[in-house]
Structure 1
Amino acid sequence: MVNWAQMYDCRLGVDRVPELLALVEREDDAEAWTDLGYRLILEHDLPSMAGLAALPRLVRLAGGSTKARHLAGAIMERAASHHDGDDLLAGSAAVIVEFGVLLDRHLQSRPADYLLTFRALLAVKEQYHWANVLGDFTDDFYELPCPHCAAEVTIAIGGYGRYAAIRDWDLGDTDRRELRPSPAEELSGVGRWMYEIAVRDGEDLLADGISIFSARPSVRPVPVSSPSRTSTRLRTAPSCGSTGWRWPLPHPCPLKGSPLPCRLRDDTSRCRVGKFTE
């Protein structure tokens, strides 16, 4: 039984969240859902104690409510953040498992919100890194340290190309190596699980992108002119000349103390999980 008197929301209140939950349980009230979103997750980043306490009730609504499913998924994606609600999460273990079953069933219907649902399922599986960084691979850029020399490596997957490169402020993408997907039989662990889910659901572009993260760049560099997407250029160290990067590669967020990874795309000043890198 939740003691709501101790469950502060993001506006430091304890009374409003139970009232809003009761309201949305009775009817689909758009304003109530908006208010819940602001109170349960701070700045789209940190779940409040009230948000963690509300998770079981949101999951009960999620089967028939897109808003409830999305809000519960957003809370789960941020469950690795700094908060004092570990006991609340542990007490909701059975509900979280139930939520995972619901999300997986929803994925198989090939919904319009497939990526959002997939990321929520990753969070349920405690794959918080990928729950926060995974894109749809239509135009994605990932910054990863080379496992051999720690030089910053840019991985591009999408319409802009499929390659690994060292990104230079003045020269653009240098030492460019084309990427190719790994055969499915070479995938393992969470990468294989992600790939198999995407293939099962006919999400070929997503599956292809996941398999590329197990790819090796080609041995011969491919010359490339400076990219037009100057907003994504970063200063990096020279390449060590390694011919292979293997997925998964760790990429801690530049913000000290943050448990969440950073996915830079189009704007070098903002971390894609909602925090600034400068």
Structure 2
Amino acid sequence: MSDWVGMYDCFGDVDRVPELLRRAEREDDALVWDELGHRLCLEDDLVFPAGFAALPHLVSLAAGNQRARELAGTVVRNAAGHHGCDDLLAGCADAIAELRGLVDRHLRSRPVDYLPAFMDLLATGGQYHLSAQLGDFTDDFYHLTCPHCVTEVSIAIGDHGRYSAVRDWNLGDIDRRHLLPASPSELHGTGRWMHETAVRDGQSALATGILHLFGGAECPRCASVFRIAEEYAAANLPVLE
């Protein structure tokens, strides 16, 4: 059971969230879930202490309740924000591990909300930077700095092309260079399980995009090659203290 002492929500209330959770256990009321979402996470960006206190309760309901699973995923996705509650987050490790299993089982059913659930899975694995940015690879862009010459490079992975380029305000992406996708055998760690999960679930476009994301890009200025995912992680992976 959570200790609700001092666990305020976005309005500073300490008793409203426990009441809403009790109501959610009795009835699946959309208004209750909407209010919970507003109180736990401000504009889907910042988690309040009540969000971490509520997480184990949400996960306990998540196996049979889509709204609970989605709200739990929202809390975890935003856990890298500047909430000042790292001790509370650490105390949610068991709930996050349980949520990871629930989300993975949901993905195996190949649901219509596959991508949002996949992003929740990334967050439960601590990949907050990818969870915040990853798209369906129809029109994805990643803006990085070349580690060799510090040129700002745009990486496109989508239906309109898979390339690195220098973005010009008037001319758009210029001096395009084809990306160098990784082969499945080259993948390891996060890239490997992301790709294997997408392949397992028949998400071919996502799997192909992941190979490009974890592949190489050539800098249009100095022609050096760097690993896209590594540079993106270096620039965006949050440090939780």
| TM-score greater than 0.5 by the shorter chain | yes
TM-score (norm 1): 0.80
Contact conserved, 2:164 with 2:218, CA < 8 A, in 1? Answer: no
Unaligned runs of 5+ in 1: 220-238, 261-278
Match in the other structure for 2:32: 32
In the alignment, structure 1 residue 247 sits paired with structure 2 residue 228: yes
- Aligned ranges 1:132-211 → 2 under 5 Å: 132-211=132-211
- Aligned ranges 1:258-273 → 2 under 5 Å: 259=238
Alpha-carbon RMSD across the aligned residues, in angstroms, is 1.9
> Moved runs in structure 1, 4+ residues, more than 4 A?
none
* Range moving further from structure 2, 158-167 or 83-92: 83-92
Distance 1:133 1:6, change over 3 A: same
2:225 is paired with a residue whose SS is coil
In the alignment, structure 1 residue 14 sits paired with structure 2 residue 27: no
- Aligned ranges 1:52-63 → 2 under 5 Å: 52-63=52-63
Contact conserved, 2:218 with 2:226, CA < 8 A, in 1? Answer: no
* Range moving further from structure 2, 124-133 or 79-88: 79-88
Q: CA deviation at 1:212?
A: 0.4
Percent sequence identity is 55
Q: Distance in 2 between matches of 1:52 and 1:36?
A: 12
The count of aligned residue pairs is 237
1:44-68, CA deviations, whole angstroms, 9 ceiling, x for partnerless residues?
1000000110000000111111111
Match in the other structure for 1:114: 114
Contact conserved, 1:76 with 1:123, CA < 8 A, in 2? Answer: yes
Q: Distance in 1 between matches of 2:216 and 2:105?
A: 33
Q: CA deviation at 1:39?
A: 0.2
Distance 1:136 1:85, change over 3 A: same
Q: CA deviation at 1:170?
A: 2.1
1:98 is paired with a residue whose SS is helix
Greater fraction of residues in strand: 2
Q: Distance in 2 between matches of 1:24 and 1:2?
A: 16
Unaligned runs of 5+ in 2: none
Q: Distance in 2 between matches of 1:90 and 1:180?
A: 38
Q: CA deviation at 1:179?
A: 2.1
1:132 is paired with a residue whose SS is helix
Q: Distance in 2 between matches of 1:153 and 1:204?
A: 27
1:131-151, CA deviations, whole angstroms, 9 ceiling, x for partnerless residues?
111111011111111121121
Q: CA deviation at 1:109?
A: 0.7
TM-score (norm 2): 0.92
1:187-244, CA deviations, whole angstroms, 9 ceiling, x for partnerless residues?
222111211111111111001001002333579xxxxxxxxxxxxxxxxxxx433242
Match in the other structure for 2:73: 73
Q: Distance in 2 between matches of 1:3 and 1:212?
A: 45
Q: Distance in 2 between matches of 1:217 and 1:204?
A: 21
